[in-house]
Chains A and B, each alone.
Chain A
C-alpha cells in the first residue's frame, strides 16, 4: 500500500504523560502536514514541512507540541505533559509541492486517535 500511514491508530494515555505519533507519507511527496480534529469539527492545521524544513506552525501548537521530519521522509509529533484537552484525532497528510496553478491533492492518513484520561 502506497498511501499515508500513521502509527499508532489509537493511543490512550494518562494526563501528564508524553506521547509520540509517527507519520509515513507517500514516498514521492516532499510536503507533510499535521492537523488536529476534535469530535464534530473539521481538521485544524497544526504545522507542515517541506522536506526536512518546518515551514509554519499554527498558534494551536503550544510549546508542549513538537514535530520533526529529520530526513525529509517520516515525521513524528510529540506531545509533552498531555492534558485532557489534547484528546483528539491527529491527522497527517502529504502532497507534492505547489507548481503554478497545478492541481495538487493532500492525501490524508487514517489518523491517530488520542485519548487522555
Chain B
C-alpha cells in the first residue's frame, strides 16, 4: 500500500464547475501538505501549502487537511480550461525528513469549454 493514495481519474468537468480533488495518507507523521499542478511534459508547480490541519484559500483554490481522518482535499471554484492538468498531492513528515516529499499518483483533470 502506498503512503499517499490519490484517485488517478481522469476527471472531466464543464467550465465553471467546482472541482474536488482528494488524497488519503497513512503515515501519521506527515505534517506538511501540498498540492502541485503539472502540465504535460513540464515540472510540477506548487499551488497550495498547508501545515497541519485546517483550510487555506488562495483565489479560486481552497486546500483542506483533516489529520484525524488523514484526508487532503483541493477545491477549484469556477474551473477554467486552463486548469486542465494533472494535480498531485504531496506530504512531508518534517523533522529529519524535511523536504523529502511523498507524492500521490496524480489526478488528471480536463475542464472543457
Question: Which of B36, B51, B90, B105 is within 8 Å of A40, CB to CB?
Answer: B105
- Of B41-49, B60-68, B74-82, the one with at least 4 CB within 8 A of chain A: B41-49
- Of A13-21, A43-51, A62-70, A78-86, the one with at least 4 CB within 8 A of chain B: A43-51
A48 contact set on B, CB distance < 8 A:
99-100
Question: Which of B45, B51, B88 is within 8 Å of A42, CB to CB?
Answer: B88
Knowing A42-B88, A48-B99, the reply to whether A101 touches B8 (Cβ < 8 A) is no
Knowing A4-B43, A91-B44, the reply to whether A45 touches B90 (Cβ < 8 A) is no
By beta carbon, the residue of chain A nearest B89 is A42
Knowing A40-B105, A42-B105, A98-B94, the reply to whether A108 touches B99 (Cβ < 8 A) is no
A103 contact set on B, CB distance < 8 A:
49, 51
B51 contact set on A, CB distance < 8 A:
101, 103
Structural contact, A42 and B90, CB atoms closer than 8 A: yes
Question: Which of B46, B49, B99, B105 is within 8 Å of A33, CB to CB?
Answer: B99
Structural contact, B105 and A108, CB atoms closer than 8 A: no
Structural contact, B98 and A91, CB atoms closer than 8 A: no
Size bin of chain A's contact surface = 20 to 34
- Provide the bound-state CA to CA distance between A91 and B42, in Å: 10
> Is B103 positioned at the interface, with any CB of A under 8 Å from its CB?
yes
Q: Tell me the smallest distance from the CB of B39 to a CB of chain A, in Å.
A: 10
Structural contact, B99 and A42, CB atoms closer than 8 A: no
A44 contact set on B, CB distance < 8 A:
103
Interface of B toward A, CB cutoff 8 Å: 4, 6, 8, 36, 41-46, 49, 51, 88, 90, 94, 97-106
19 contacts between A and B (CB under 8 A): A31-B99, A33-B101, A42-B6, A42-B103, A43-B88, A43-B101, A44-B103, A45-B100, A91-B43, A93-B43, A98-B94, A106-B46, A106-B99, A107-B46, A108-B36, A109-B43, A111-B41, A111-B42, A113-B41
4 other A-B residue contacts (CB within 8 Å) besides A42-B105, A111-B42: A42-B90, A45-B100, A105-B46, A108-B44
Closest 9 CB pairs of A and B: A42-B103, A108-B43, A98-B98, A108-B44, A105-B46, A110-B43, A45-B100, A42-B88, A43-B103
